[in-house]
Structure 1
Amino acid sequence: MNKPSFNDSRILNYLKSGRILLLDGGMSNQLEAQGFNLNNELWSAKVLLSNPRAIVEAHLHYLEAGSQCVITTSYQASISGLIKTGLNETQAKDLILSSVTLAEQAVEEYMVSNPCAERPFVAASIGPYGASLADGSEYHGDYGVADAVLIKHHKKQIGLLAATNADIFACETIPSLQEALVLKQLLAEQKKPAWISFSCKDDRHLSDGTPIEDCVLEFNQCSNPVALGVNCTNPKYMVKLIERIKVTCPDKFIVVYPNSGEVFDATNKTWHGTASPNECGSASTKWQKAGANIVGGCCRMGPEHIVSIKQALK
């Protein structure tokens, strides 16, 4: 099998320049701030279906805050999950593809208002298998299914989004070694670069209990993904996790976008706790010092957090 070549990748050239790439924050909390109730199995994908303009506006909030890369709303929008809600397969695929189109539209509108700015990137979100189940299982990864089930699921998602103009795949919140190895197999066939970010339960283990070093070592000799990291994880664990990844895979870029440190109740779909944007900004300098190349926020991290990170990393 020929190894993929990313020599013409604008996002990879950006990272090779040594600059930090600033991501966006959580889409769901921004949509809630815009007045939407997301307490349903589709989460932010519900708005993708009902009010696509609101998705564009959410992306614009992050771009105006300083994000240089926006992540599409395809995390929860799986083909299988959308079919369960009553869409046919064609409608489901079109809706997922629209998540990229809407992100691109936000970028276009941002560039009209900011013609001297560097053009932001678009990352196509690939959520974990558990996200399609809408039962909170992406937070532990104990799906109880064979590899073949995961391969079938992710092959459809990746194959669909591979045909878009998104700059990179964002394989997010991956909770287990099993799912990571499935993605390793599928990404090896792709010409679009990718990152894989894991969800971790502490400063050394994935959510399924796998030591982070054991997991990322599996990717050390792979051309794709080009970056490894952590998201949707308490920010207090970031520095140690970055250091462990950096030592194990020194040639990979490192991506981190933690949640706010609040605790999510998967049963009631509610958050508990508080977090300060200023604390987030201060912490981001430590992530950069530890070796992070791509930085942003996940659940409960809003535009104000991105502003704080941007100011801190200057």
Structure 2
Amino acid sequence: MSNNMVILDGGMGRELARMGAPFRQPEWSALALIEAPQFVRQAHDAFIAAGSQVITTNSYAVVPFHVGEEVFAKQGAELIALSGRLAREAADAAPTPVKVAGSLPPVLGSYRPDLFEPTKAKRLLSVLVDGLKDSVDLWLAETQSSVVEVELVREVLGNDPRPLWLSFTLKDELNENGEAQLRSGESVTDAVNAVLRLAGSAILFNCSRPEVMASAVREAREVATRHGSKLAIGVYANAFEPSDNKRGANEGLSDLRKDTDPKGYLSFAEEWVEAGATMVGGCCGIGPEHIAALSEKLGDRAHS
């Protein structure tokens, strides 16, 4: 594998469901942590075997939005710490170096920048950071819909020296100028400027349609270059049917599109790499078979 290309993992929730782990709404991927954590370890192992060089803690859904206030109050800290340990154990057992990214989700609701409330979000993020801090190599604030969300992440992390990756989710369609936008309506340029200002070491785009990612990568690369920065840029798209991509996080299981099989997803990923991405993986609906295709092809390209 090239030193310039990092292979991420895929979507934990769908993989747990595929494996037969306990899985339902609204708990989503958190249910396996509660009832059968061995499945979480198996999923991590499967992504590592497929070629993932970075795996993400299964902490995304361990927030009241998914598990409820009562469960979070009683078990949240314990479940978050467990998600960190399971990922750490899987990475430490891997035959090749694997880093653990601590997942810091949009704690008040995915795709909903309008629900963001800083005081409540800060309280929840603090629990996540405290539970993961002993297990992770880097922090991954993912599926962020607005700049203000990532500013709070940086505040909560304070002077933590570990790398901070900031990953944004994008609107389903490009604007009239062919540009990608955050779900808040802010521009990719706004996002890159925020990442640089907050001392982030990477900007990523995730849980969005594959078609909007290349534009975001190109703009991010152009802005970073203007700043004289070699900012790492990553992409991990989802596989939702376009008509289902607006579905709320707890409104049922979205259908998956047919053209994001491993071969089709690889074609999208090659476009992102051509645009300037240096990290690729997958979000909802992207499994170990997709990661294996990315790892094999991008590894071959690196040596050609």
Q: Could you say if the C-alpha distance between residues 194 and 66 of structure 1 is closer, same or farther in structure 2, counting changes exceeding 3 Å?
A: same
* 1:307 CA displacement: 1.2
CA contact (8 A) 1:83 1:92 kept: no
Matched position secondary structure for 2:233: strand
Supply the distance in 2 between the matched residues of 1:279 and 1:86 (Cα, whole angstroms). 39
Matched position secondary structure for 1:239: helix
Supply the distance in 1 between the matched residues of 2:252 and 2:73 (Cα, whole angstroms). 29
> Bigger shift: 153-162 or 275-284?
153-162
CA contact (8 A) 2:240 2:256 kept: no
Q: Deviations over 1:206-263 (max 9, x none)?
A: 112111212221232432x211120001111111100111122232111211112433
Q: Deviations over 1:105-152 (max 9, x none)?
A: 2224433xxxxxx2211111111123xxxxxx4123210x54223223
* 1:306 CA displacement: 0.6
Q: 2:289 aligns to what?
A: 304
Q: Deviations over 1:14-43 (max 9, x none)?
A: 9xx842110111011111111135222221
CA contact (8 A) 2:24 2:31 kept: no
Q: 2:143 aligns to what?
A: 173
Matched position secondary structure for 2:71: coil
Q: 1:295 aligns to what?
A: 280
Counting only pairs closer than 5 Å after superposition, residues 211-226 of structure 1 correspond to structure 2 as 211-223=187-199, 225-226=200-201
CA contact (8 A) 2:266 2:290 kept: yes
Q: Could you say if the C-alpha distance between residues 281 and 80 of structure 1 is closer, same or farther in structure 2, counting changes exceeding 3 Å?
A: closer
Supply the distance in 1 between the matched residues of 2:150 and 2:33 (Cα, whole angstroms). 27
Give yes or no for the alignment of 1:153 onto 2:124.
Answer: yes
Q: 2:100 aligns with which of 122, 132, 136?
A: 122
Q: What is the TM-score when the length of structure 1 is the normalising length?
A: 0.83
Give yes or no for the alignment of 1:142 onto 2:114.
Answer: yes
* 1:301 CA displacement: 0.4
- For structure 2, the 5+ residue unaligned runs are 175-179
Query: Which residue type is aligned with residue 246 of structure 1?
Result: R
Q: 2:79 aligns with which of 83, 95, 110?
A: 95
Q: 1:28 aligns to what?
A: 13
Q: 2:205 aligns to what?
A: 230
Give yes or no for the alignment of 1:75 onto 2:70.
Answer: no
Q: 1:269 aligns to what?
A: 253
Q: Could you say if the C-alpha distance between residues 157 and 49 of structure 1 is closer, same or farther in structure 2, counting changes exceeding 3 Å?
A: same
Supply the distance in 2 between the matched residues of 1:293 and 1:196 (Cα, whole angstroms). 14
Supply the distance in 2 between the matched residues of 1:209 and 1:199 (Cα, whole angstroms). 11
Q: 1:7 aligns to what?
A: none
Matched position secondary structure for 1:125: strand
Q: 2:224 aligns to what?
A: 249
CA contact (8 A) 1:79 1:93 kept: no
Supply the distance in 2 between the matched residues of 1:22 and 1:46 (Cα, whole angstroms). 27
CA contact (8 A) 2:26 2:67 kept: no
Give identity over the alignment, percent: 28
Supply the distance in 2 between the matched residues of 1:184 and 1:124 (Cα, whole angstroms). 14
Q: 1:205 aligns to what?
A: 181
Q: 1:4 aligns to what?
A: none
CA contact (8 A) 1:196 1:227 kept: yes
Q: Could you say if the C-alpha distance between residues 159 and 104 of structure 1 is closer, same or farther in structure 2, counting changes exceeding 3 Å?
A: closer
Q: 2:177 aligns to what?
A: none
- For structure 1, the 5+ residue unaligned runs are 1-13, 112-117, 131-136
Q: What is the TM-score when the length of structure 2 is the normalising length?
A: 0.85
Supply the distance in 1 between the matched residues of 2:34 and 2:183 (Cα, whole angstroms). 31
Supply the distance in 2 between the matched residues of 1:21 and 1:236 (Cα, whole angstroms). 21
Query: Which residue type is aligned with residue 175 of structure 1?
Result: S
Supply the distance in 1 between the matched residues of 2:19 and 2:144 (Cα, whole angstroms). 28
* 1:98 CA displacement: 0.8
Q: Could you say if the C-alpha distance between residues 222 and 139 of structure 1 is closer, same or farther in structure 2, counting changes exceeding 3 Å?
A: closer
Q: Could you say if the C-alpha distance between residues 300 and 80 of structure 1 is closer, same or farther in structure 2, counting changes exceeding 3 Å?
A: closer
